Every structure is written in structure tokens, then in C-alpha cells.
A and B are shown apart, each in its own frame.
Chain A
Amino acid sequence: MSFTQPSSVPLPPPDAEVNIICCEYCPVACAYKAYTWPLGRDGGPSAADNALGVDFPTALLSGAWPSENMHNVILRNGRPHNVIVIPDKDTQAVNIGGTHSVRGGAIAKKFYNPNSPTADRYKTPLLRVRGDLIPISWDMAFDLVARLSTHTIENYGELAWGMKIYSYQFYENVFSASKLAFGEIGSPNYSPHHAPAEGDDVPGLSDTGIDAFGSSFEDDKEADVIMISGSDPYETKTVRFTTWQQPGGAKLIYVDPRKTFTAAYALKNGGLHLQLNPGTDVALYNAMVREVIAQGWEDKEFVDRYTASRSELNEETKWRRAMFGMSFDEIREYVFSRDEFTLEGAEGITGVPADQIRQAAALLTGGGGARPKAMILFEKGLYWSHNYENTAAIGNLGVLIGATGQPGRATGRMGGHQRGGQKAAGYPMDKSPHFYEGNPVEMDTERWLVEGNTRFRWVVGTNWIGAMGATQALAARVRELTSIGPTVASTNVDTAFEQLRSRIDEGGMVVVHQEIYPNDSTQYADLVLAAGAWGEDNYARNNAERRLRIYEKIADTPGQSLPDWKIFASVAQRMGYGGFDWPDTNAIFEEAGPKSAGGRRDFSALVELAQERGVRAHDLLREFGTTGIQTPIVRDGDQLVGTARLHANLEWNTNSGKANFVMPDWDAVAARNAQIGPQGDEVWVLNGRINHVWNNLFDFMRREYSTQRWPMNFLEVNPDDAQRWGIESGDLLSIESDNVIDQLGGRTTGSFTAVAYVADTVPPGVTFTYFLFPGSPANSVTPGDSNLQPINLRYNFKLGKGRVTKIGTTDLVGRMSFVPRNLV
């Protein structure tokens, strides 16, 4: 007999309050329910005695078991409550049966609880005085931000006023920020967390006319074959894999330089793993296009009826489509004119055996037999390697086989985050200082900043410096710009304003960071604005299949922190702008409705119907429960009808309404690879996401369950390389390069450290690391010059390189798992 205390989890009593919410993290957006009840009134293990309505112990796959990490204690309406956040076992969409991943499954731990590692949530605004951040009042914070903004705009123009902001946030927050930045100030100096410029992330695909988020998860189940490039769905879009792709049984063609879990799964289940050399995607897809045409395996009816002819392309009014759009004859001519795109030529470039390229072409098309339902999905491993060319090349393949708009047939993104990017006003392209062959492109805000043109930068919800290429060069320049002029030496609002104003006038830059936690970029902030988070107000957002759902408020915001929209609105009002007096998020959502009309995320019909019925739009959305409704939403009398897939009407987003082929320029890619690839004793240092964590780990570094697994950043090293370099799992590594391309096209140095994870996931000459681990600036060894890709100003994030050396050991062996992560 022993007196060890048994583990337990409190159960919600039958009268617990129930809120619906979706997971905060990946673009799948699984549905959850949050049960809250005051402390000390727990439910019991029989179905009648708990709000889950199940008997404990629950059956396997019941979706009704709250693990200990699904419980927390929160403040709700000022009083302590238990909360269980558990996947919704009854949901009719997305995570049917209550499936979930390791990330979302423990999301209850996200909530602020001062007796947990979340204790360091920002609770008041802060001002940096003589080097340290100290609490100030909101009144003072709003006053400073408004006056410094106005001073900047009046004296240096709106291009000197910049905003760097999450693009994945809720509709209500993005709308309010953009109403200020675009609608009132009208600055093009605005960019998302993941890129140096606003605009399209997958321009090559967009120029085919195919929407990047046109399909439903149903289609993944319906498909016979799915080609997935540059994204491991099991690791990073988990429930899309476990609930839709895996049960659907499609054969997978997995394209990735790494042999990840899904690569191993594909091989085990009759699919293929095309293990290409980094940066060679265009050669691979061009060779597949050539092989398909050579064999006559293309979808001839689709190509004949639904792709644009040369004369139709000549009518294109968008410069990019006019410049790069191709007819079928033209793409055929291009891929057949070059030896690189023969099977053998492509093998020489990509390292993928000719035979496998042919098999992939056959699998995707049926190889002359019955045509399978085929999908082509991709994400950042593809489009952050080479942006325009890679998305064009893979899009061409989709067009060639007619993979668009029909059940089980689609081409598009896996997605990186959820979608709430409805702006209040258009991007002021006419003010952008950057051009491609005379055509305006969205401003590269980082280059602009490094050149010293940004005097005021408002950073919202991102570790912005770590998230940009050539991180350390950017950091050095930011340090320089924020060190000009006097130091703030007083919490007197006028003195502080004068001192920061002097910085601006002397050519420096003031940085405001609106955040929930400190991160690697906070050290450069003059002011910190304490923001609210997921579950702390009522919001709405789409997932990667355009499914719109309500995210209800569950907990109070910590301390005096404020939801983002309130911060934007308060500053806007101080700057004298009208139209920011929203009483709540519903009012913003209703204002955003009409602005969404005609687009992928059109929810104007929902707002319209709500107003006709005299109910709040958020409340009408709540009636759709965790199932939500897919945008664009259309009216059918008194009913709202969602849209399962785009292009079902056989129309694409081009002038002709037909799909285009797009120039997949291998020469541009080959030249760029030569500029940015490894030199001398360097190897590729690829980066990306992993299963356990999300983005900059803002939540996950504050979750014991995650930090035991990943106490620090890692570098995957092939066993042969490890032997050559004298490295074992658990060693501390330095990764460095002295020829990283910086924001202005010069050469700079970059380095970071990580623990060695020796694994056969990477081939020799290729290593892999997490892209944004706190304290480990992996983007220091990735290029930071958007001029490398002038058509659309984006970084080659996934093509880092460096020299790897052991600099010591860690204490992690025996405490962190080094088990291979690709066991099937």
C-alpha cells in the first residue's frame, strides 16, 4: 500500500457555463468548448453529474477526456474559476470526434494564471526610462503614441510612420488597426509579421487565377492522390491530416528535402517521397509538367476549355499576369525547350531519381488510365524558398491536370495561420516607393527602415526582428536608430515626449511594441502596450477552408491590459480621427461586413441578415456553433448558405475568367541559388515548424509540457555529417555564416546556437532548425534582401546556410527526447 496521491482533474458541474471557441494556433482551427465554474463546485464522474454528459472513465476515442493540461484556473468577471478547454466532441466540422493536436490540446494552459509560467503577461503599459521598462498609465501611453505619431506624420510624412503587425489575428483587431493605418494615416509603411511587405504570399499561384484557399477539408478526404510540398501536415496542420487526409486514404506524393513523419508515412502507404535538393522545386515541377504533356496525361478538356489563349492573355490588365501569363502552347514550348526539364536533367538538378519523377506524374494523372481526383497542396517550404517561380511552377501543374474547383480536386495552400485579415481600407499602392520594371510593388518596410526613413514604428504581436531575414543585421541597425538623441529620463509625459521627439528629429526611430509577453524584439521598444489575447474578448476568424466561427470571451484580460482594438481606437481618437468609438467587437465586425463583400472572406450577408433581424452579427454567427459557416456567405431568402469550394462555377480570378499558366523561370532561380546557397564548408540550414509548438513560442515557452520537450532550439544533423564534424545529439552547436545578404544587398554575418539532434530526417549537407525559437535567431543566416525577388518583395526564408561547429555540450541528454521523429 502506498500513499502516493492519485492524479485527478476537476470535472465541470452540470451548470458550468459553456463557451465556444476555436484553437488559437494552426490554420485548421479545431473547435473547442470551454467549461467554466467557480472554484469548489466540481461535478462528478457520472454523466448526470458533469457538464460533459459522460460517465468516467470515458471510452477510447470518446473525445471527452480532459487531460490535466486541459485544465486551468482563470479570472472570469473578477472571480476565480476553473476552466476546462476541451476539443468539441460534438462538432460537425474540422475536428470531428474531438480530435486535436498537442498544440491546441493543451490550450487551457494559455490562459493567464499568476501561479504558472504565464505570470509575466504584460499587465500595464510600460515606458523605457534610462534603459528599463517601468509601468505608466494608459492615459500617458495613448498620449505619447498619439503625439509621436502626429509629430512624425506632420514633419516627415506618412511614409515615416510604420506599422509591423500580425496578419493572422481576428477580424476585429486587424480591421481596427488597418482603419487607422490605411484609412486615416494612409501609410504604405505597413507589413505583416511574416514578410517585409504587404501583398500576396503566393503570387505565382494567384496569377494562374486559382485562389490559394479554394478547397474544403472534405476535398482532402475525397481526393485519390494528394501532392504536398513544403509542409508536413501531420506535424503542423495535424487535424487536417488525422481527420481528413489519413482517413481519406489518398496516396501521398510528399515533396520535401527532409524525410519527416509524413514522408515516411507516404512511403509506407503506397505513396512517394520526392526528396529534392533545397531550392530546386521549379526544375522538379517543370519536369513533371513536361512529362505529363509528353505522355499526353494532361486534362485536355480542362486545358482546351478553361485555360486562357494568347489573345485572352493580351487582355490582362494586372501587370504581373500580363507580363508572366502563358498559354498552354507557350508553357509547353518553354518546358520542352530546355534540357533541364527532361527527367534526367531534372534528376541532375533536384536529386530526385528520374523514375520517381515519372511515377509522381503518373500517380497524379492516372498515367493514361482513369483520372484520379488529385490535389496539390503546399506551404512555406515551397513559397519561402523561391516565391514567385515556385508558386508559378506548382500552380502550372495544378492547371495542367485541372486540379481546381471540383470535389477532391484542388490546388492551394495548407496555410500557416488562421485568417482574419479583413482590412478597413485598401493598401495605398500609389504611395509605395518600390517598383518592379516601372510597376509599383508593396513597400519593403524593412529596407525602408534600414535606410533610415522610418521615424516611428508600431509593432503589434510579433517578434518582428527575429521574424525577418538577416536578423542580426536588422537588429544592429534598429539598435543604432533607437540610440540616437537623448535617453528618456523621466516619467513626466511632456519630458518623455520631448526626449523621444528629439530622437525622431535627429534621424532616429521610436519603437512601440504592443504585446502580451516580452519577446526577443522587446529590448528595442521605447513603449510597451499591454495587449489582450485569445479568449479575452469576443472575436471572429476564418480557418484555411474559409470557415468563419465565433471565438467567445472566456477569461478577463490580465491586470489593466486592453484588447488590441481598444488600443488602436484610443490612439486614433487622440489623434483626432472619427469613427473609432466602437462599444465592443461586435460593432467592428458589423462595420467590417460590407468591406468583405465580393472577396474570399465575404461575410456581408451575415451582417446584413443580422441587421434585418435586429440581432447582433456575433450572436447570429454564434448560432452556427462550432460548425460555423464557410465564406463567401450568400443569402438564400432568409437563410445563409456557405461556400464549400471556390471556382466551382468554372471561373478563375483573371480578366478572361479562365485559368492561366505562369512563367516558371528556372534561370532566375538558378542564379539566385548561386547567390544565396552554401559556400565553402557551409551547408544548408533550412528552417520550419515542428509538431509541439507554434510561431514564436509565446505560449509554448510558458507551458511546462512544451518546454520539457523543447527546452531550447535544435539543429537536425544527418548522422554522416555528425560523424564528420564530431557531433553527437545533445552537443551545443554554433551555426554561422559570414556571407549572409543583408537588407541592402550587402554581405553580413549571422549566427545562432542550438542543440544537436542527430537524425536521418535530413540528408548529408542539409540541416534543419526551428525558425523562430526564443533566443535562437535562425533567420540570422537567411537572406534579408527582398531585391533578390523583385517581382514580389519576399525573403528566401527557407534557404539559410552556415557552418556548423560544436562549441560544447548541454545537460539535455536524459531530460529531452532525441528519439527519431519520423517513426511510422
Chain B
Amino acid sequence: MAELTRREFLLIGTAGGAVVAVGVILPLSQLAKDQPEAVAGSTTTTTTATSPPTTAAPAAVVGVFPRVRVASLGEVNATDPITFDYPLQGQRNVLVKLGVPASAGVGPDQDIVAYSSLCTHMGCVVEEYRPEHRALGPCPCHFSTFDLANDGMVSLGQATQNLPRVLLEIEADDVYATGVVRLVYGFANTLQGADSVEVS
């Protein structure tokens, strides 16, 4: 049986879902790590982080995340998550102050996080927040529960992906959304298929 070499595999795609011909997608594993997420200022051509440049069609940026003010710091609290759509209309998210620092947390206590509330199992809206466990869930459909202090991972449940995490920045006393890592339920591309919230 013919076998492709490791190098050939690297040239043609990655385990995380990157396929060069469509455009430019960083491997999932890279996005999930706490690297500087916004690659603002880089050129419009990007290659997969682990692969050499390819001879396939020239890469192009598929879309651009808007920078949107979500709430003031004072509004973010430890019991009632703030819900907001981002980056597209209908892409619901929750913004919450965990009360303990999290690796992805922002704000003075490094504990403000935002995650998609479209369950990455089959799309039901999961918005029951358990402050004592910093958990979102269980989802009303099949009971997936997500740990917001640990990158939205499934503590128990059936979703095949951590909840997409909204990238946040603090400017003055306001919280801004600047991007999303991981694919939002229902979408083939997080930035395609509905109007941007900026349009509304």
C-alpha cells in the first residue's frame, strides 16, 4: 500500500482542519493555545503554523472580526452572565466574571471570559450558569456542561468541541470582543452565513 510521507501530509493539510485551498486557517491546536490570538498587523497571506508554504492557490483572508464593545467592566458580574451576539447576528455568547483567574481571563482580576452559548453538540442554547462551579449547563437538550474556567471544555457531556471562546480586550472601563476561536455551532466558517453585528 502506498504511503504518504509525513512531509507530504504536512504539505496538504493538517489534522486540525486546515486546508490551504480555501484560504488560511490556523490549525485548531494552535488557535486553542494561549498564543497572541490577534495576528493584527500581519500580512494578508498566512500559512499554517506547522507547514511550509504551499504551492496551492494564493491564500486570502476569509473574513475580518469586528471589534465591538460588549459591556462596561462594572456591568460584568459573577452570577448573571451578559448575553450578546458576536461576531454575526444570531451567534449568541455569554460574558461572565468567574471570580477566579482563568488562563483566558481578562480584566483586573484576569477572570472575565466570554463563550458562545450555542452548544457545540447540536446547537441548543445553553445559558444556565452555575457560579459555584463556574460552569455553563447542563444544556437543555442532552445535558452537556462546560467549564468556563477551563477554556469551555466539556466537564460532562456530548459536545465534540470546547465552546468557542470570544477574545476580549479591555479598554478604559469597557470590554470589547475582538474575535472568536473555534467554530461556532451551525457554521462552516465563523464569519460566513449571517450579517455582522456591526450591520445592525
Contact = CB atoms under 8 A, between A and B. Distances in A.
Interface of A: 1-11, 39-42, 45, 56-63, 65-73, 75, 78, 80, 82, 98-102, 105-106, 109, 113-116, 119, 123, 234-235, 238, 242, 261, 265, 556-560, 691-692, 704-705, 708-709, 814-817, 819-824
Given A7-B184, A119-B6, A823-B135, 4 more contacts: A7-B17, A57-B90, A57-B188, A101-B158
A40 B21 contact: yes
26 contacts: A3-B64, A6-B192, A7-B17, A7-B25, A7-B183, A7-B184, A8-B189, A10-B17, A39-B21, A40-B20, A40-B21, A45-B188, A56-B193, A57-B194, A59-B186, A61-B124, A62-B123, A67-B159, A67-B160, A68-B28, A72-B15, A98-B122, A99-B122, A705-B160, A819-B155, A823-B156
B154 A692 contact: yes
Contact of A80 (B4, B64, B135, B160): B4
Given A7-B31, A40-B19, A824 B143 contact: yes
Contacts of B184: 7
B158 A823 contact: no
B14 A115 contact: yes
Given A2-B167, A3-B39, A57-B193, A71 B186 contact: no
Nearest to B13: A73
Contacts of A556: 1-3
Interface string B73-95: 00000000000000000100000
Given A242-B142, A823-B135, A5 B12 contact: no
A8 B16 CA distance: 10
* Most A CB within 10 A of own CB, among B40, B102, B143: B143
Contacts of B183: 7-9, 67-68
Contacts of B150: 814-817
A544 to B, nearest CB: 18
* Most A CB within 10 A of own CB, among B42, B147, B155: B155
Nearest to A41: B21
B18 to A, nearest CB: 9
A705 B161 contact: yes
Interface residues on B, range: 35 or more
B72 interface: no
Given A68-B28, A819-B135, A823-B133, A102 B10 contact: no
Nearest to B144: A102
A819 B133 contact: yes
Q: Which 4 A-B pairs have the closest CB atoms?
A: A4-B179, A60-B123, A116-B15, A57-B186
A39 B19 contact: yes
State the majority secondary structure of interface residues on B. Answer: loop
Contacts of A39: 12-13, 19, 21
A7 B103 contact: no
Contacts of B37: 4
B184 to A, nearest CB: 8
Contacts of A45: 188-189, 192-193
B41 interface: yes
Contacts of B145: 819, 823
Given A40-B56, A80-B4, A7 B189 contact: yes
Nearest to B26: A5
Contact of B122 (A63, A235, A814): A63
A8 B188 contact: yes
B180 interface: yes
A469 B38 CA distance: 52
B161 A73 contact: no
A381 to B, nearest CB: 18
A73 B3 contact: no
Contact of A5 (B25, B135, B151): B25
Given A7-B189, A691-B157, A60 B122 contact: yes
Contacts of B160: 67, 69-70, 100, 102, 105-106, 705
A100 B188 contact: no
Contacts of A822: 156
A72 B151 CA distance: 23
B111 to A, nearest CB: 12
Contacts of B185: 60, 65
Interface in B7-59: 8-10, 12-17, 19-26, 28-29, 31, 37-42, 46, 50, 56
Nearest to B57: A40
Contacts of B153: 708-709, 817
A823 B147 CA distance: 12
Contact of A1 (B56, B66, B138, B186): B66
B4 A114 contact: yes
A69 B32 CA distance: 13
Given A73-B12, A709-B153, A56 B187 contact: yes
A100 B40 CA distance: 38
B13 A823 contact: no
A235 B156 contact: yes
B154 A1 contact: no
A722 to B, nearest CB: 17
B147 A817 contact: yes
B64 A1 contact: yes
B3 A558 contact: yes
Contact of B191 (A6, A109, A114, A119): A6
Contact of A823 (B4, B38, B90, B130): B130
B70 interface: no
B6 A105 contact: no
Contact of A58 (B9, B13, B151, B186): B186
B182 A10 contact: no
Nearest to B179: A4
B99 to A, nearest CB: 14
B181 A8 contact: no
* Most A CB within 10 A of own CB, among B6, B46, B156: B156
B38 A7 contact: no
A41 to B, nearest CB: 8
